[in-house]
Chain A
């Protein structure tokens, strides 16, 4: 179910109305669970069983980790993590395994290739792992502990995994951040200004910017790109970079706004990533819930930067390659992860070698530009199969004398302006004090964005991150 579909709006209105009914205040969480399961089952009802199975495993093993015999804790956490990863491997990576190693035209290879990809599987399995590791490590015992009867644990965990705003495309919740919030919520506590701002900005980025750009960057597909000029190809790449940001950041903002309507606070997933002046900064600003997950649950357990430089570089590469593969079952995602891992390792090496020097304004600008260009170039691996990426780059080099598609270029640039302004506004707000005086008039901007949602939305399309 899409956040911008009529079905979703109906579900939301019903859920919201029932949720805050004083008569039903004791069953607020079950109401959200029921609504979330309807939300998930709408597209692929049969795959709801998998979600419930995954939740059941996490409920059982996490409860056993806490309440079982102390010397069996490691066993239960291992079982839980292995089952979670097996589900992910089975449903997400079977086609990759089949394509790489088996004959996909028949038999087992064909069966594995045809395996359905349950929507949001990467997100909810990671959340399950987060729950298990958090209860096992007991690091957050002050803020988060599983207590009370199993019934409560079942409800809370099912809610944690299935809460619809984050269910299919994040932000990836961490158990220790979410569980302490579970409790009774009151209508009067809703911060409507926050909700409206998030929803307007989110829907604008998704419906106006991303959905329109998706139709304009359609021509990046093979073999269409082969006949486009170098400038058109570069503009489309720039447009795709803006599209993927608008699509995913838009989704995350909507998720934050929706969760806040029900009294829950999810972590910010994007923090103006395209102003980053280094790759490490980019990963602190882009898909923050994933990058912090990878850091906390993979990079640091691997040793992080505590075991010498060479091991740090290896850990970075490994984390990013696995992070890349998390996005999709194709080797191009692994290459994408490797690209970022390599960039982070090189950056770290250079910093170790030269020391941290503060660049001036011009230097900072060019560093930011360079990071943006490399990041955008790497998005090609998201958009196209690996062999087409090479061909696309070749076409950029070869098609210098082909006629430019001026109308396409102009449309892409016009739809990319909001993404540029979104980041530029942030830079201004942090560096320019006069900006504070404009703040009281922000309603004009939000009113205009609302107007644009009404009159300039693109055709509704699925969120890019749904496929992950």
Chain B
């Protein structure tokens, strides 16, 4: 029975690998947030050619519309921090020309349980060579894609805004969320920011030494939160540390934007579109990098 089971398993694996040769649907999204992060990282690491521009951030910059930023690979990972994205960049075979780093929550520590997925060279090689082992190709995810497609719930090809469904948060819940954040942002966690800044500096210096340019950007959040002590301290710390360095650029908050959010910090669809346009304009600004 054991031998037969192993043979059956091998047959399933071969058949599924063959199926994946013909089924190349890049719109199969992850089934849950953590998996979507792993897929993003895997697709970056196992890509056949290097990406020129990479964005490292959190769920805040993940709201931006990727298909409006051609040539930009997003390692904005919801639930994680920019350092995790930077670790993935560091684990890649090539370094990009430019790395964009979201600053709002830059000081979060690296999540070793996440980045640990990509530490093993053996595992990475195996996954690169055998697509059936890649997270994006999990049979349940593929099955879900087909079922959704049958019911026309997930468009085969379309804008990312279709996939990034907006959550309708009732006003009372939104107020509660903003109140909670207002309280939290009154307190400046200097220890976390300062130690995070040291780690970020090391990562940025590493990127610069590989010839990359680095651009910091801050995602707009609710106006009620933007100028509270903690966000202000974070903003000033980043500027103070990196402002004078060569090959460093800044995309500052838009002066006249009153961006609407879903929960105080994540832009809603309209806000995300608006900010993406602003971001695109900023990319073309002469003198972005010193």
Q: Are B177 and A223 in contact (CB under 8 A)?
A: yes
Q: How far is the CA of A455 from the CA of B7 in the complex (A)?
A: 16
Within 8 Å of chain A (Cβ to Cβ): is B246?
Answer: no
Contact code string A438-468 (vs B, CB < 8 Å = 1, else 0): 0000111011101110111011000000000
Nearest chain A CB to B253 CB, angstrom units = 27
B112–chain A nearest beta-carbon distance, Å: 13
Q: Tell me which of A251-259, A315-323, A347-355, A405-413 binds B.
A: A405-413
Chain A residues with Cβ below 8 Å from B1 are 193, 196, 442-443, 446
The reply to whether the CB of A21 lies closer than 8 angstroms to some CB of chain B is no
- For A141, list chain B residues within 8 Å (CB): none
Q: Is A50 an interface residue (CB 8 A)?
A: no
Contact B144 A407 (CB under 8 A): yes
Q: State the CA gap A460–B166 with chains docked (Å).
A: 29
Q: Are B6 and A450 in contact (CB under 8 A)?
A: yes
CB of B147 to closest CB in A, whole Å: 6
How many Å from the CB of A318 to the closest CB on chain B?
39
Residues of A within 8 A of B93 (CB): none
B46 contacts the other chain (Cβ, under 8 Å)? no
Contact A456 B138 (CB under 8 A): yes
Q: Are A454 and B173 in contact (CB under 8 A)?
A: no
Contact call A411/B8, Cβ cutoff below 8 A: no
Q: Contact partner of A448 among B8, B38, B147, CB < 8 A?
A: B8
Question: Which residues of B have CB within 8 Å of A447?
Answer: 4-9, 11-12
A443 touches B4 (CB 8 A): yes
User: Across the interface, which residues of A come within 8 angstroms of B137, CB to CB?
Assistant: 455
Residue numbers in A under 8 Å from B5 (CB-CB): 196, 200, 443, 446-447, 450
Residues of B within 8 A of A406 (CB): 148, 153
Known: A193-B1, A447-B8, A455-B132. A227 touches B32 (CB 8 A): no
Please determine whether A215 and B168 come into contact, CB atoms closer than 8 angstroms. Answer: no
With A410-B147, A454-B9 as contacts: A402 and B153 at CB distance below 8 Å: no
Most A Cβ at <10 Å: residue of B138, B140, B165, B168: B140
* Contact yes or no, A215 B7, CB < 8 A: no
Is there contact, CB below 8 Å, between B8 and A443? Answer: yes
Q: Are A405 and B139 in contact (CB under 8 A)?
A: no
A410-B148, A455-B132 given; A227·B167 CB < 8 A: yes
With a cutoff of 8 Å between Cβ atoms, the chain B residues found around residue A452 in the complex are 139
Shortest C-beta distance, B173 to chain A (Å), equals 5
A-B contact count (CB 8 A): 99
* Nearest-CB residue, chain A, relative to B12: A451
CB distance from A378 to the nearest CB of B (A): 25
B12 and A448 contacting across the interface, CB-CB below 8 Å: yes
- Residues in B with CB closer than 8 Å to A444 are 8
Docked-complex contact A459 and B9, CB < 8 angstroms = no
Whether B16 pairs with A216 at a CB distance below 8 angstroms is no
The residue on B at minimum CB distance from A458 is B35
CB contacts (< 8 Å) of B140 on chain A: these are 212, 411, 414-415, 456
* Prevailing SS type, chain B contact patch: helix
Residue of A nearest to B154 (CB): A407
**Chain A contact residues (Cβ within 8 angstroms of B): what range?**
20 to 34
In the complex, which residues 250-281 of chain B have their Cβ closer than 8 Å to any Cβ of chain A?
none
Of A193, A223, A405, most B-chain CB atoms within 10 Å: A223
Instruction: Tell me if A's interface is mostly helix, strand, loop or mixed.
Output: helix
* Cα–Cα, bound, A192→B8 (Å): 18
- B2: Cβ under 8 A from any A Cβ: yes
Docked CA distance A192–B32 (Å): 36
Known contacts A227-B168, A407-B144; A446/B8 CB under 8 A: yes
Kindly state whether residue A218 has any CB partner on chain B within 8 Å. Answer: yes
- Whether a CB of chain B sits under 8 angstroms from the CB of A400 is no
- In B9-30, which residues have CB < 8 Å from any A CB? 9, 11-13, 16
Which of chain B's residues has its CB closest to A453's CB? B9
Q: A448-B12, A455-B132, A455-B133 are in contact. Are A227 and B147 (CB under 8 A)?
A: no
Q: Which residues of A contact B94 (CB under 8 A)?
A: none
Residues in A with CB closer than 8 Å to B7 are 447
In whole Å, how far is A185's beta carbon from the nearest beta carbon of chain B? 20
Q: Which of A175-202 contact B (CB under 8 A)?
A: 192-193, 196, 200
Q: How far is the CB of A188 from chain B (nearest CB, A)?
A: 16
Question: Beyond A193-B1, A414-B140, is A216–B31 a contact (Cβ under 8 Å)?
Answer: yes
With CB as the reference atom, state the residue of chain A lying closest to B79: A218
- A-side contacts of B170, CB under 8 Å: 226-227
A157 and B142 CA atoms in complex are apart in Å by: 50
B residues contacting A by CB (< 8 A) are: 1-2, 4-9, 11-13, 16, 31-35, 38, 113, 132-133, 137-140, 143-144, 147-148, 153-154, 165, 167-170, 173, 176-177
- Give 13 pairs: A residue, B residue, CB < 8 Å, sorted on A: A193-B1, A196-B1, A215-B34, A218-B33, A227-B169, A407-B144, A414-B144, A443-B4, A448-B12, A451-B12, A455-B16, A456-B140, A458-B35
Give 14 new A-B contacts, CB below 8 A, not counting A218-B33, A406-B148.
A196-B5, A212-B140, A215-B34, A216-B32, A405-B165, A406-B153, A410-B147, A443-B1, A443-B4, A447-B12, A448-B12, A450-B9, A455-B138, A455-B139
Shortest Cβ-Cβ A-B pairs, 6 listed: A447-B8, A215-B32, A451-B12, A443-B4, A450-B9, A446-B5
Q: What is the interface of chain A, defined by CB distance below 8 A to chain B?
A: 192-193, 196, 200, 212, 215-216, 218, 223, 226-227, 402-403, 405-407, 410-411, 414-415, 442-444, 446-448, 450-452, 454-456, 458-459
